Structure 1
Amino acid sequence: MSTPDSLSADDPLAREQAHLAASRAALRAMRADVEALDITDVAANWVNAQVLARQIDERIKALADLSDTPLFFGRLDYLHAPGAEQAEGAEGEQFYIGRRHVHDAAGDPMVIDWRAPVSQPFYRASKKDPMDIALRRRFGYTGGELTAYEDEHLSDPAEAAKASRLLQQEIERPRVGPMRDIVATIQPEQDEIVRSGLSGTVCVQGGPGTGKTAVGLHRVAYLLYAHRERLARAGTLVIGPNKSFLHYIEQVLPALGELTVQQATVDDLVAHVEIKGTDDAAAAVVKGDARMAEVLRRALYAHVTMPTEPVVVVRGSRRWRVAAYEIEELVRELLERGIRYGAAREALPQRIAHAVLVQMERAGEAPDDRVQDTVARNSAVKAAVKTIWPAVDPAKLVLRLLSDPDFLAEHAAGVLSDEEQKAILWAKPARSVKSAKWSAADAVLIDEATDLVQRTHSLGHVVLDEAQDLSPMQYRAVGRRCTTGSATVLGDLAQGTTPWATRSWAEALSHLGKPDAVVEELTAGFRVPTDVIAYASRLLPHIAPGVTPVASVRENPGFFELRPVTGDDAVVAACRELLDHEGSIGLIAADARVPALAEALTAAGLTYLAPGEETTPDTRLTLVPASLAKGLEYDYVVLDEPQAVVDGEPDERTGLRRLYVALTRAVSGLIVTHAAPLPEQLG
């Protein structure tokens, strides 16, 4: 590794620094060119002008040069020109690999996008398979300045393979602020997932610190690069477990130049009603069961009744009669086709009108499509459709199911047991949709009913993170958003902390509507220190027997300490001790313990943040309820009272899973403080 002690004009590091400066200047010129565009006389109308202006604004933002983010992080020296025949004497090329493409005034590339095919060997090449790479160079940065480089001569058999110090330092760099990209540290097994095709759905099972969330986000960035036009039309969406988590990851894609990806929680997707109530565990489990879809379908289509009277259409002096049995045939045909309730209701008047037109043609008339549309709007036809196939409000349908025991019993017969029906019935039936105390699970039921009435819009690609906590009905809600697209499902079966947590990925993917998805497992841990993950993995036989324990690949062992304490002052002292180190600190505790610890921190003069709030150099301590710790990471963690974390959940297995999550949030060090005995499962 070279360092900038004494640089000359011929020093390789000086040349690389010069290329960085030139590349940044070229990026500024690219942005200036876009800012200088005059679209005054380009757009045909004001609508097109607005769309074009927005696209230009997004392009300007995407071309921003982030001063503290390296513009390129590696270099590849090819033995031959990529894509050319490897003939003797063929001249190789040199490419700088970075977060985005940069070209000079002549259009020649100065930095190649990490997603381009020519960049792939940076992540995949090895001594065993050099992929025509003579040299792979990694760069080290300090505060945005290029300060070091490290070379691997992949084509030189005399040079032994060795671990990259710069790569290890980047992996272990302190985490302050929101989640950052891992584009400089993507490993071969991660890169394979990132570059998998758009048409297929991928499920990534990964333990703590294996980088599954980052892999999912980088896959979105790759797909937008490889299929930009298609995804620009269809749209992309990242779904996270809560707002704090989404805030934590929201800067990753913009740092890669991708600004159009939407983010939401499952609750955001199904926000048809205002959430005012909560369910107990028993009710939530039943409402989240996939069998509820059949109950809703039965209840909805029960509104369809067979006609008992003919429809008589009067046009001028003529009367046209469609018999009841003919209309019944039309209704049964629509039911057998299995199309959406609303679509069938819209089709029925046209079917009846067509039957009238057939009679007109037999009588010697020559009606056209306009006549059919007029007949379909006839008051007699509209009245018949209203009786036979009435409009149904999805929220009112769910309201009746949860309020009317007879209505629920009729449509849940043979699907839900009597006990299950009692579990989901409201103790106090609501009078209206607005006055009802809807729960989050109720909103998912309304979303299912809404889709039965009218098809949900499908996106091109959806990323679903922390998927192990979703109920089958929530999986169905997400699946509706990508019926014509693909998905990236991310999760860890060992971290499922809901009563309805996923038992197997095969089952979950079936509910998602993607049973043919490929399941990949990441087992190399890049975040959690060896001693910490080994201690947490003691819980795996009790919470997820089939899950492979994470094997930490970090060189820095960090530190791990079990510390018996006698009061909250000792917990505060542990936090103060960690503040002497560089990086972020998370104090994780059972939700019920948070108020007391907040009071103790305030009394001690220690300022702290809530999850999702961005750390600053002056405020690096976050007080985290255990229920919100999932998906977050801190350089150092103080975990307060493990047994209290377990006891805070409805059952022991869920509590142990919550504890597993809390134990694995640390990047560099963990102190476990406890006055009560530790859970016996930790040995």
Structure 2
Amino acid sequence: MPGSIKEQEQQHLDGVVSKIKDAQVEAKRRINTAESDETGIRNNFQNDLRIKTDSYTGMMETAISVRQQQQMLAERQNSWQHATSQLATLKRLQKTPYFARIDFHELGEPKSETIYIGLASFSDKPDHFLVYDWRAPISSVYYDGGIGEVTYQTPDGEQAVDVKLKRQFQIEDSKIKTVFDTEEAVGDQMLLDALSEQSDTKMKSIVTTIQKEQNQIIRDTKSDLLFVQGSAGSGKTAAVLQRVAYLLYRYRGHLTAGQVILFSPNQLFNDYIDQVLPELGEHNMVQMTYYQFLGRRVPNMKVETLTERFAENESTSQKRINDVINSLAFFKAVTTYSNHLGKEDMIFRNIPFRGKNFISAEQISEIYYSFNENYRLSNRLQGTKERLIKQLNRRITSEMKTKWVEQAVQDLSQEQINDMYAGEAKESDSDDKEFKFLARKIVVKEFQSVRNAIMKNRFLSINSQFVHFLRSVPQIINLEKYGISREDWQEKIKQSIDHIKDRHVRLSDISTYLYLYDLMTGKKGERAMRYVFIDEIQDYTPFQLAYLKFSFPKARFTLLGDLNQAIFTKENSKTLLEELSTMFDKDKTRVIQLTKSYRSTQQITDFTKHILTNGEAVDSFAREGALPTVSVQPSMDQALDRLEAQLAFNDSERETTAIIGKNLEDCRALADQLNGRGVKATLIQSENQRLAPGTIIVPSYLAKGLEFDAVVVWEASKVTYHDDDERQLMYTICSRAMHQLSVIAIGELSPLFDQVPEKDYEIVK
């Protein structure tokens, strides 16, 4: 690269940085002014405000004065927030104002244009942009095309431009390290440099290296369902986080981060990605796991955890039952059952009051079914509640005459009487009036528990109703078609009843339980949510997806995952696309496949893809590295020696290592053994822990979505991994590695590696 081009570009960069610094000074001045003005307004407010309550006019004057002060404070607060936000953006831009330049000619314009693209827009005067935000429509040209004619989408429709130059920069602390011109969207050198970096405990933004296919995901605004099938390390999660940032930019003023929700595989992953959006100047969206989404609604029940779910050893009949419970057919069965409840079989509970029934379950049922059959369940329930509240209000007068109320009035102290009259005129002319006043107060207060029970639907019995539904399933679904006997289903009902009694519920049951409750009570879902993102979609069941679609009826869905990594749903994940096609409008559904893996070296990608038998296509990006190593040791001690040697080598390469065991029990045992040998390693036992720098030991099901410099597959023996349906699990474990992959087994290597060609790995003694 001629020095003159680099020098010219550095000169331009120096000019931009100088103007960014000027803008920082101005932003700081506006912050100080806003703070000073706010302090002045507050002081004046305290000194000048005279509350006038002697006349209506005086009260109005006071109210207007207070309102004016509030408006002035709000204006200063907005000014302060805007300047503070702008200053934060300018500080980010100062070190690396931009990463790309494009020169293009727009048809009909007299001359070509040059624009620079960075993490945020920056202009030194109105409509004079020195840097364009990577999300601006014109920036799409950088990601989508090469040199020559390129079209891009604008709010006014498609626009064509003739691209003359694409130039990329690597800038650190306001200094250009390298400049290179390319005909590609993102030059291989820039991507290679980014991929060769060491991993971190936090995911980074990928805006400088977004690929063409990733850009399609980011900028899609038309699909109701965007399904991204991406191989491990294809950048699907990173692209989707940039998609959130793009949508917040594109619909600024109409969409907030609180209207976007991301369902992630575990809490560890939430912690790993939580810096990506703030790095781009956006607030984080709502983040939770499906387990948290359900668990928050049943705080008095213990929902099955990821660890418990992974440790389950299911019999053949249990697997068949789970297949039914997790299906779309079962979701429809719950809907059918709820329609039946409009006619009969709704189960009610007595509403108690002072040791007796305020109203019995039979009386509530009579009220409930007195409404016309055409009433929806929600309308029928609302009507029932209104009738019960009327009954409660009518009972106040008769209850005031009871003995317990008379005694309660007599037992009142003078202080309690004064409290009851607080804010109300005391009628001292009649003892009878005073008694009635106090009696009413006591009864209304005591009736509050009944009122709460009515308003919070406590007269419904969701537990009993759920069990009744399970007993009704054989009349709604032909279980024989699924190979389930009557005895197997009865056993399933018994297990569910036992779990509910223990206040413990399985993840598969809780979705059914809550969907049934929502239908019974007329809950319409969270209608304010506009975008739902679901990561690791292959581990969701059709029932769960249908329930999420029901729970967010106004939202557009982006689903991403790798059908090769289905560690919970296994083979059922293959039918997922078929099931999804029945839930969404086909004309507004888009499927994007990302087959190129960027995370791992070519050697690791080639090794891992052979673990799969008929996996989805996986292509490796041409990044060279060492061959994966396989070591089979005769004893635990020798395996630990080999592990220590590998950790020492990884440390010398400055690579952080994740030792991935199959389950938590194996990981705990290994942590104890390494500790006994004086080897430092952090054991990740739950998803609520944070990733720590250095060596970590983590169970396989918590490693989803994460990446590490080096991965050691611990105890990859035939004893530990013997089932063919564990191929997807082993593929998931191995594909976490970026630069180094080591497999250690005791005794005999797992047959899951039988199909890996010998040339794709190195045997280490």
Match of 1:670 in 2: 741
> In 1, are the aligned partners of 2:525 and 2:552 still within 8 Å (CA)?
no
Match of 1:223 in 2: 247
1:200 to 217, 224, 239: 224
Separation in structure 2 between the aligned mates of residue 508 and residue 69 of structure 1, nearest angstrom? 49
Match of 1:169 in 2: 193
2:659 to 580, 584, 587: 587
1:476 Cα deviation after fit = 1.9
Sequence identity percentage: 22
> In 1, are the aligned partners of 2:631 and 2:743 still within 8 Å (CA)?
yes
Are the structure 2 counterparts of residues 21 and 513 from structure 1 closer, same or farther at C-alpha, using a change threshold of 3 Å?
A: same
Match of 1:421 in 2: 489
Are the structure 2 counterparts of residues 63 and 469 from structure 1 closer, same or farther at C-alpha, using a change threshold of 3 Å?
A: farther
Which of the pair has more CA radius of gyration? 2
Per-residue CA deviation, residues 303-346 of structure 1 (Å, 9 max, x unaligned), is 44479xxxxxxxxxxxxxxxxxxx99972333xxxx5x223433
1:148 to 157, 160, 177: 177
1:608 Cα deviation after fit = 2.7
Are the structure 2 counterparts of residues 285 and 27 from structure 1 closer, same or farther at C-alpha, using a change threshold of 3 Å?
A: farther
1:232 Cα deviation after fit = 2.6
> In 1, are the aligned partners of 2:224 and 2:584 still within 8 Å (CA)?
no
2:607 to 501, 518, 535: 535
2:509 partner letter: D
Are the structure 2 counterparts of residues 170 and 447 from structure 1 closer, same or farther at C-alpha, using a change threshold of 3 Å?
A: same
Are the structure 2 counterparts of residues 166 and 173 from structure 1 closer, same or farther at C-alpha, using a change threshold of 3 Å?
A: same
Are the structure 2 counterparts of residues 508 and 265 from structure 1 closer, same or farther at C-alpha, using a change threshold of 3 Å?
A: farther
Per-residue CA deviation, residues 332-385 of structure 1 (Å, 9 max, x unaligned), is 333xxxx5x22343368999xxxxxxxxxxxxxxxxxxxxxxxxxxxxxxxxxx
Separation in structure 1 between the aligned mates of residue 101 and residue 516 of structure 2, nearest angstrom? 54
2:169 partner letter: F
Are the structure 2 counterparts of residues 228 and 128 from structure 1 closer, same or farther at C-alpha, using a change threshold of 3 Å?
A: same
Separation in structure 2 between the aligned mates of residue 506 and residue 48 of structure 1, nearest angstrom? 55
1:302 Cα deviation after fit = 4.5
Q: Give the 3-state SS of the residue equivalent to 2:373 in structure 1.
A: helix
2:490 partner letter: K
Q: Give the 3-state SS of the residue equivalent to 1:668 in structure 2.
A: strand
1:495 Cα deviation after fit = 0.3
2:526 partner letter: H
Match of 1:137 in 2: 167
1:502 partner letter: S
| Structure 1 residues not aligned, in runs of 5+ | 155-159, 308-326, 352-388
Q: Give the 3-state SS of the residue equivalent to 1:539 in structure 2.
A: coil
Total equivalences in the alignment: 598
Match of 2:414 in 1: none
> In 2, are the aligned partners of 1:641 and 1:675 still within 8 Å (CA)?
yes
1:238 Cα deviation after fit = 1.0
Are the structure 2 counterparts of residues 234 and 252 from structure 1 closer, same or farther at C-alpha, using a change threshold of 3 Å?
A: closer
Match of 2:546 in 1: 476
Match of 1:363 in 2: none
1:212 Cα deviation after fit = 0.6
Per-residue CA deviation, residues 133-158 of structure 1 (Å, 9 max, x unaligned), is 3222222145x55342323265xxxx
1:33 Cα deviation after fit = 3.6
Residue 381 of structure 2 corresponds to residue 345 of structure 1: yes
Per-residue CA deviation, residues 407-453 of structure 1 (Å, 9 max, x unaligned), is 632344241452553353244836978x5222333332232123313
Separation in structure 1 between the aligned mates of residue 531 and residue 185 of structure 2, nearest angstrom? 38
Separation in structure 2 between the aligned mates of residue 512 and residue 668 of structure 1, nearest angstrom? 40
Match of 1:357 in 2: none
1:662 Cα deviation after fit = 0.6
2:734 partner letter: L
Are the structure 2 counterparts of residues 20 and 482 from structure 1 closer, same or farther at C-alpha, using a change threshold of 3 Å?
A: farther
Are the structure 2 counterparts of residues 306 and 436 from structure 1 closer, same or farther at C-alpha, using a change threshold of 3 Å?
A: closer
1:128 Cα deviation after fit = 5.6
Match of 1:401 in 2: 466
1:535 Cα deviation after fit = 1.2
1:393 Cα deviation after fit = 6.2
Match of 2:596 in 1: 524
Per-residue CA deviation, residues 545-572 of structure 1 (Å, 9 max, x unaligned), is 2611x21123333442223343213212
> In 2, are the aligned partners of 1:276 and 1:438 still within 8 Å (CA)?
yes
2:731 to 655, 660, 663: 660
1:677 Cα deviation after fit = 2.6
Residue 92 of structure 2 corresponds to residue 85 of structure 1: no
Separation in structure 2 between the aligned mates of residue 424 and residue 98 of structure 1, nearest angstrom? 57
2:470 partner letter: L
Residue 474 of structure 2 corresponds to residue 438 of structure 1: no
2:101 partner letter: L
Match of 1:497 in 2: 567
1:104 to 124, 127, 133: 124
> In 2, are the aligned partners of 1:207 and 1:522 still within 8 Å (CA)?
yes
Match of 2:331 in 1: 293
Match of 1:16 in 2: 13
Match of 1:376 in 2: none
Separation in structure 2 between the aligned mates of residue 570 and residue 306 of structure 1, nearest angstrom? 67
Over aligned residue pairs, what C-alpha RMSD do you find?
Answer: 4.1
Separation in structure 1 between the aligned mates of residue 72 and residue 125 of structure 2, nearest angstrom? 29
Separation in structure 2 between the aligned mates of residue 390 and residue 246 of structure 1, nearest angstrom? 36
1:333 partner letter: N
2:706 partner letter: L
1:401 partner letter: F
**Deviates further, 176-185 or 23-32:** 23-32
Are the structure 2 counterparts of residues 264 and 204 from structure 1 closer, same or farther at C-alpha, using a change threshold of 3 Å?
A: same
Q: Give the 3-state SS of the residue equivalent to 1:498 in structure 2.
A: coil
1:465 Cα deviation after fit = 0.4
Are the structure 2 counterparts of residues 645 and 52 from structure 1 closer, same or farther at C-alpha, using a change threshold of 3 Å?
A: farther
Match of 1:315 in 2: none
Per-residue CA deviation, residues 613-642 of structure 1 (Å, 9 max, x unaligned), is 6667xx422212112111010111122222
Q: Give the 3-state SS of the residue equivalent to 2:88 in structure 1.
A: coil
Q: Give the 3-state SS of the residue equivalent to 2:131 in structure 1.
A: strand
Separation in structure 2 between the aligned mates of residue 223 and residue 167 of structure 1, nearest angstrom? 24
Match of 1:609 in 2: 682
> In 2, are the aligned partners of 1:207 and 1:523 still within 8 Å (CA)?
yes
Separation in structure 2 between the aligned mates of residue 245 and residue 214 of structure 1, nearest angstrom? 12
Give the alignment's TM-score, normalised by structure 2.
0.69
Match of 1:600 in 2: 673
Per-residue CA deviation, residues 179-211 of structure 1 (Å, 9 max, x unaligned), is 111110001111112111155321000001111
Match of 1:679 in 2: 750
**Deviates further, 21-30 or 211-220:** 21-30
**Deviates further, 228-237 or 40-49:** 40-49
Are the structure 2 counterparts of residues 656 and 252 from structure 1 closer, same or farther at C-alpha, using a change threshold of 3 Å?
A: same
Per-residue CA deviation, residues 644-676 of structure 1 (Å, 9 max, x unaligned), is 69638xx531x2111000111111121222223
Q: Which structure has the highest helix share of the two? A: 2
Are the structure 2 counterparts of residues 640 and 105 from structure 1 closer, same or farther at C-alpha, using a change threshold of 3 Å?
A: same
1:531 partner letter: Q
1:243 Cα deviation after fit = 0.2
1:216 Cα deviation after fit = 1.1
Separation in structure 2 between the aligned mates of residue 177 and residue 605 of structure 1, nearest angstrom? 24
Separation in structure 2 between the aligned mates of residue 173 and residue 240 of structure 1, nearest angstrom? 25
2:751 partner letter: E
Are the structure 2 counterparts of residues 508 and 431 from structure 1 closer, same or farther at C-alpha, using a change threshold of 3 Å?
A: closer
1:244 partner letter: L
Q: Give the 3-state SS of the residue equivalent to 2:268 in structure 1.
A: helix
Q: Give the 3-state SS of the residue equivalent to 1:595 in structure 2.
A: helix
Separation in structure 2 between the aligned mates of residue 487 and residue 262 of structure 1, nearest angstrom? 14
Separation in structure 2 between the aligned mates of residue 450 and residue 243 of structure 1, nearest angstrom? 27
Give the alignment's TM-score, normalised by structure 1.
0.77
Residue 661 of structure 2 corresponds to residue 576 of structure 1: no
Per-residue CA deviation, residues 39-59 of structure 1 (Å, 9 max, x unaligned), is 857976979978995996598
> In 1, are the aligned partners of 2:671 and 2:697 still within 8 Å (CA)?
yes
| Structure 2 residues not aligned, in runs of 5+ | 42-65, 151-160, 346-367, 388-453, 756-765
Separation in structure 2 between the aligned mates of residue 332 and residue 481 of structure 1, nearest angstrom? 26
Separation in structure 2 between the aligned mates of residue 343 and residue 56 of structure 1, nearest angstrom? 48
